[in-house]
A and B are shown apart, each in its own frame.
Chain A
Amino acid sequence: MTTLPREPPPPVIRLSAVAYTYRGPPPVRALKPLDLVINRGEHVAVTGPSGSGKSTLLNLVGLLDRPTEGVIEIDGLDVGAAPERDRAAVRAHRIGFVFQAFHLLPHRTAAENVMLAQVYADLPRRRRFGAAMAALGQVGLAHRANALPTALSGGERQRVAIARALVNNPSLLLCDEPTGNLDTATTAELSDLLESLCRAGTTLLVITHNPAVAARAQRQITISDGQLEEVTGRPVPAGQNGDRDAHGAG
C-alpha cells in the first residue's frame, strides 16, 4: 500500500458527459451532454430560467433519477448505474437534501424531524437525540428543538430542514430553491447560514432563482436549454479559501 503514490481525494461530484432525455412521446432532451466537477468544500450555485433543466440536474446529482447517458460519480463512486440499494445508501450517508417546500413532517417536533434522517442511516437510537441537537445547534435552533413545525417561522423551518440534511455529516448539501418560500430578510439570513456552513467545510450545491443567493457562491453555473455554462465566480476573499486552492474549480 505504501508503495502506491498518494492520490488526491476524488471530487465530491464528477459528471462526465451526462445527459438526460425524458422518454416521450415525444422524447424531450432535458440535459445535453455535460461535464461538471465539484470539489470538497466548494459552494456552487446553479441558476437558470424555469424549464432549463435545473431540476433534472438536481435529481440526477441527488440520485433521485438516473441519467440516460454518461457517468455520475459521487466521492469517486460510480452511482449512475449502481443498484438502488447502493444509491439509497449514498443518499442516506453522503447527500443532504434541502427543499423549497421544507418537507417537514407536521406532527413531529423539530428534533424528531431531524432524527428521521438517522433512521435510514441506521444510527443507534441512543445516539440520535444528541446528534440531532448538535445539528440544530449548528443552525442556531437548539432552543426550538421541541417546537412543532407549525409553531416555527418559515426561516426556522428551513433551518430545521438544513439541520436534518446535516445530521449524517454528508459529503454534499444539495439545496433546491432553499429560499423560494422565504421573504427577503429571511433569505439573507439563510444565505449567511449557508455561507457559514461552507466555511465550516460543507460542500454546497444550491439551485436557485434568486441572484442574491447565487451571488454568495464561489462558483456560479447557469443552465439554459439543457446546456451548462460556467460563470466566473466572485473572487474568494483571501484567507478564507485556505487549502481549497490546491484543487480549485474543475
Chain B
Amino acid sequence: MRTARARRRNRGAPAEPSRLRARDLGSEALAGLLQRPGRSVLTMLGTVLGIGAFVAIVGLTETATGQIGKEFNVLDATQVTVTDTAAYRTSKPTLDFPPNSDGQVDRIRGVIAAGVWWTVPMSQASVSALPQASGGNAIGLPVIAATPGALQASGARLAAGVLFNEFHQARAQQVAVISQTAAAQLGISNLENQPAVFIEGQAFTVVGIIANDPRLPAMNLGVIVPESTAIHLWGLPRNGRAAQMLIHTRLGAAQVVAAQAPIALRPDNPKLLSAAAPVSPAKLRRSVTTSLNTVFLALAGIALVVGAVGIANTTLVAVLERAAEIGLRRALGARPRHIGAQFLAESTALGLFGGLIGASLGVLTTLVVTVYHSWTALLDPRVVLAAPFVGGIIGLLAGLYPALRASTLEPADVLRR
C-alpha cells in the first residue's frame, strides 16, 4: 500500500513548473504598454520632464563652466606675482627682496623659475646706439632691472643672442637684453659685431634681443639690464615703482607657491611682501555650478518624483482595470511572481523609455542653447548614458507597490466579475 501510494505520488508529480521566460516577459510587458499608447505616453511625461531637465541642466552648466575654462589662460594659471607692498608705503628707495631671492623661491616645490624685476625709476631713460659725444640720436625707452631668474620666469623668447645670466648678475656687468622693438628703433639688426647701447651715458653690451615676452609686456618695449647693475648705477627702486617677483609654477601649484613665497623670502617679516595667485579654476567652477545647479537640480528632482508618482498611480489603476486579465493569467498557470514581474517590467519600461526620451530632449536643449550662444557644447557622456537607466530605476521603484498588489489579487475573486 505504501509503495503503491509512493509510486502514485511519484507518477503524479506535477509537470515542469509554469514559467515566464525573460523574452515572454518582455513581449507581454511591451504589449501591455502598447495596448494604451496614449496613456503610456502621458504616464512617461513626468519622467521625460524630470530626466530631460536633469540632463539639460547638467549640460548647460558644464557648457557654461567650459566657457570659463576656455578663457582661463594656462599662462595665468601658472603665474604668481609677489609685490613689495612695503615699498608703496614709503617714498624712500626700498627693496625688500633679499639678494638671493631667486634661489630662495626656486627651492619651493612646484616652482619652475622665479626672479625679481622693476622698472628703473627714470621717466624715460635716454638710450642711444652711439655715445652722445659722437652725436648719437638718443630715444626715450623704459629701462628694466631684472634678475636672470626673472627673464627665465617671464618665458622670454630670444630673436638673437643670449639672455644675461648669473655671471653678469654677480659681477654687475654692464650688459643688456633689448626688445626687438627697441632694437629696431636703435638701428641694431644683429649682434655679430657686439653692438652697445648707451643708457644715460653708460655703455652696455647688447647680449640678446627678445622677440616676445608673454608674461612681462613691459619687456617687449625697453632695455633690460641685470638687477645688480641697476642697483649699482641707479640705486634701489623708488618713486612708487616697487620691485616685483615673477614666479613661474607648474600647473596647479600656483596656490601653494603663493602661500609659501613671502615666508620663504622674508621669514623675518613676510608681511612686507604680498603674493597674488590666480583664482583657482576649480574654485571658479564651483562657484558657478553651485549657484546654478542647486536650484535647478532641485526642480528636476521634483519633476522626477512627480514622474515616479505618475507611473505608480497609472500602474496601480492598470492593475485594478486589468484584474480580470490577472485572474485569467493565474488560471492559465501564472504564479504570483509572474504577475508581479509583468507589472514591474511595464513600469520599468515606462521609466526607461521616459528616461530615453528625456535624455534626448535634454541633449537637444543643450545643443540649441549652445548653438545660440556660439559656445562649445560640453556634456559628460556618462550623464547621457546613465539617464535612461535612472529613468528605469525610477519606474522600477514606482512599480513595486502596484506589482505587489497585482501579485496578491485572488484569481477566484476577480474572474467572476
Q: Which residues of A contact B (CB under 8 A)?
A: 4, 7, 10, 55, 59, 62, 64-65, 73, 75-78, 82, 84-86, 88-95, 97, 99, 101, 103, 105, 107-108, 116-117, 119-122, 125, 164, 176
Contact = CB atoms under 8 A, between A and B. Distances in A.
B89 interface: no
Contacts of A120: 18-20, 329, 332-334, 338
A78 B417 CA distance: 29
B346 to A, nearest CB: 14
B4 A55 contact: no
Interface centre among B15, B34, B325, B338 (most CB of A within 10 A): B15
20 contacts: A7-B4, A7-B7, A10-B8, A59-B412, A64-B412, A65-B412, A84-B336, A88-B18, A88-B335, A92-B15, A95-B331, A97-B328, A101-B417, A103-B327, A103-B328, A105-B328, A116-B328, A117-B333, A120-B19, A125-B23
Contacts of A105: 325, 328
A91 B331 contact: yes
A89 B18 contact: yes
Contacts of B17: 85-86, 88-89
A76 B8 contact: yes
B411 interface: yes
A37 to B, nearest CB: 15
B15 A76 contact: no
Nearest to B336: A84
A153 B21 CA distance: 33
Contacts of A103: 324-325, 327-328, 415
Nearest to B334: A120
A89 B4 contact: no
Contacts of B3: 4
B145 to A, nearest CB: 89
A142 B330 CA distance: 26
B267 interface: no
B332 A92 contact: yes
A10 B10 CA distance: 13
Interface in B20-35: 20-21, 23-24, 28, 31, 34-35
Contact of A119 (B13, B28, B325, B330): B28
Interface centre among B21, B333, B334, B412 (most CB of A within 10 A): B333
A202 to B, nearest CB: 17
A91 B9 contact: no
A86 B325 contact: no
A118 to B, nearest CB: 9
A82 B23 contact: no
Q: In terms of DSSP, what is the predominant structure of the interface of chain A?
A: mixed
Given A64-B331, A103-B328, A105-B325, A90 B14 contact: yes
Nearest to A97: B331
B415 A91 contact: no
Nearest to A120: B333
Contacts of A99: 328, 415
B269 to A, nearest CB: 85
B171 interface: no
B332 A78 contact: no
Contact of A121 (B7, B328, B331, B333): B333
A193 to B, nearest CB: 20
Interface centre among B3, B18, B31 (most CB of A within 10 A): B18
B16 interface: yes
Given A59-B412, A107-B35, A97 B8 contact: no
B12 A77 contact: yes
Contacts of A176: 415
The 8 closest A-B pairs by CB, nearest first: A92-B333, A77-B12, A120-B333, A92-B18, A76-B12, A64-B412, A122-B19, A89-B14
B334 A82 contact: no
Contact of B334 (A7, A55, A88): A88
Nearest to A85: B17
Given A10-B12, A62-B331, A120-B334, 13 more contacts: A7-B7, A76-B8, A78-B12, A92-B15, A93-B15, A97-B328, A97-B332, A101-B417, A103-B415, A116-B328, A119-B28, A120-B338, A122-B19
